[in-house]
Amino acid sequence: MIFTSKSQILAAAAKGPTANNSTVLPINQAPDGTYYFSGSLDIDAALIGSKWTIKNLTYSFPTDGALYGNAYPGNVNNGFDPFNAKQAHAVRAALNLVASYTELTFSEITESASDQAVLRFAQTSNPYVQSAMGIFPGPRSDAGDIWFGETNQPYYTTPAKGNWGWATIMHEIGHTLGLKHGHDDYTHEDLSEYVMGPSPRPGTKALPANHDGQAWSLMTYRSYPGSDLSFKGDKLNEPQTYMQDDIAALQYLYGANFDTNAGNTIYSWSPKTGQMFIDGIGQERPTNSKIFLTLWDGNGIDTYDLRSYSTGVTVDLRPGAFSTFSRSQLADVEESSGVVYAPGNIANALLYQGDTRSMIERAIGGKGNDRLIGNGIDNRLSGGAGNDVLSGSSGDDELIGNSGSDRINGGGDEDWLYGGHGADRLSGGAGADRFVFKAVTDSTVSIVGRDTIEDFTRTQRDKIDLSFIDANITRKGDQAFRFIGKQDFHAKAGELRYVKDNGSLVVYGDVDGDGLADFAIAVKGASALHNGDFFL
């Protein structure tokens, strides 16, 4: 997607106006003799070693090859053609993405002999450009230029979100901002002519083998880990955004933008078209109804809302993790004769310098059997219909099963677990957890609909919360329960008792005063229960 040989890179590695606006990155040597910038291979493998030093970059769509001068490297401007409207749209969309990730801003100008943009976009019929190329940051006159070859590459003139042309534009912009091919190992190369720095200039290793694929970086030629370097996809299942390693590398170079969607943002997707909605506002539709992207959110209490999906979804809120909403919407990254699915529909961006503001806090499942996984901050996971599995992490989480027979695991810290209807299994994990019941129908006397608290631990200050339930429906108002221990019911509404049953405890409540239980909760992990174990 860029150069076909090193000689082309060296020939093109040359803009007078940008000479004072770029720098070479400091590089470090590891004990094993390799080199690194940040110390994270996922970042370093995507860096060529130079960047722009200004935060506002101008860009243009020149209308005449003469604007490039008479001595342009490779005479690429001979055979010049301007970008068409679809190509220009894709460029603006890609630059908007970069601006949403980083502290960079971009200003479009009209190219002239006296006013040259840092980033310039055009196409050419010159055979020197066999595919497309983007020139790394540096002091030469063509640094920051992008050329698309007119060689019948698929979708180069008709880029659309998710196709080959769209991804290629993002890829080449990546080069002009300082990103290299993730599959290239430059440990033993001298890159001084690439970055116009002192010689010798070593480079970095390739991406980790398990991340050397387009789901992690659109800067690698490998469609998926272990594939060859031929971009096997069908040209309609390409990344729709920069991917997690690309974003991390760009943020290493240019800082992170925590103002992006900094409010309480809701993200949702269409099961039919794959279109993403941000606070209900539709974004550009992808090709083939596929979803293949990485999401960066700057701040706020944010939500993935999958209520429109009827099939089971898997949502993982951890940084770098993938979520799958629909198998039919997974990108097939193998050639059309085979099937290799991407590891998910979306990935969460990696953290920038450990800052948790970019994490997603909440997830809402669909109508199927969902699996929702929290991260290290306070999460609210709501399963919706279906038999769901909800797993918190180390934050103070609120886990809501709703209908269906759910499995809810709090993880660490102080969690709220609410099973809703169905026979749910509730595990609080470490910390002072609250097991919440809001109606007598949440946990029935019948085992078919009875909830089980798997690990009630008094020493961790776990509580069973019945405060939402009216303990006496024969009286007006909201009455509290009266705990009577192991005594039998006295035909008085509002009584709460427990019994031992096959190694577990079972809590029974009578809300109508007929002396019979109206709900029951199985409790494991305790040998006895006391009044202080409840919110009544």
Q: How far, in Å, CA of 400 to CA of 452, rounded?
A: 15
Confidence of residue 5 (pLDDT cuts 50, 70, 90): very low
Q: How far, in Å, CA of 309 to CA of 271, rounded?
A: 6
Q: Which of 174-178, 229-233, 330-334 has the highest mean pLDDT?
A: 174-178
Lowest mean pLDDT among 147-156, 299-308, 403-412, 447-456: 403-412
Q: How many CB atoms lie within 10 A of CB 281?
A: 7
Nearest Cα to 451, choosing from 484, 499, 408, 410?
Answer: 408
Which CATH number does 6-211 carry?
Answer: 3.40.390.10
Q: How far, in Å, CA of 381 to CA of 94, rounded?
A: 32
Q: How far, in Å, CA of 406 to CA of 386, rounded?
A: 8
For the purposes of burial, counting CB atoms within 10 Å of the CB of 182, is it exposed (0-12), middle (13-18) or buried (19 or more)?
Answer: buried
Confidence of residue 153 (pLDDT cuts 50, 70, 90): confident
The confidence score (pLDDT) of residue 429 equals: 87
Mean pLDDT of 263-278: 98
In this structure, what token pair is assigned to residue 343? 């590891």
Question: Considering the chain, what percentage of its residues have pLDDT values greater than 90?
Answer: 78
Cα 519 from chain centroid (whole Å): 41
Lowest mean pLDDT among 49-63, 140-154, 282-296: 140-154
Confidence of residue 196 (pLDDT cuts 50, 70, 90): confident
Q: How far, in Å, CA of 366 to CA of 386, rounded?
A: 8
Q: How many CB atoms lie within 10 A of CB 337?
A: 7
SS3 letters for 314-352? EEECCCCCEEECCHHHCCECCCCCCCCECCCCEEECCCE
Mean pLDDT of 407-421: 85
Q: How many CB atoms lie within 10 A of CB 206?
A: 20
Mean pLDDT of 276-303: 97
Write the pLDDT tens digit of every residue in 448-479.
999 999 999 999 999 999 999 999 999 999 99
Mean pLDDT of 396-411: 83
Q: How far, in Å, CA of 197 to CA of 510, rounded?
A: 80
471's torsion region: left (phi>0), alpha (psi -120 to 50) or beta?
A: alpha
For the purposes of burial, counting CB atoms within 10 Å of the CB of 528, is it exposed (0-12), middle (13-18) or buried (19 or more)?
Answer: exposed
Q: Which residue has the tokens 């031929």?
A: 230
The confidence score (pLDDT) of residue 15 equals: 52
Q: What is the DSSP string of 416-441?
A: EEE--SS--EEE--SS--EEE--SGG
Beta strands in 89-192 (DSSP E): 105-108, 119-124, 132-134, 145-149
The confidence score (pLDDT) of residue 96 equals: 99
The confidence score (pLDDT) of residue 6 equals: 37
Whole-model pTM: value is 0.91
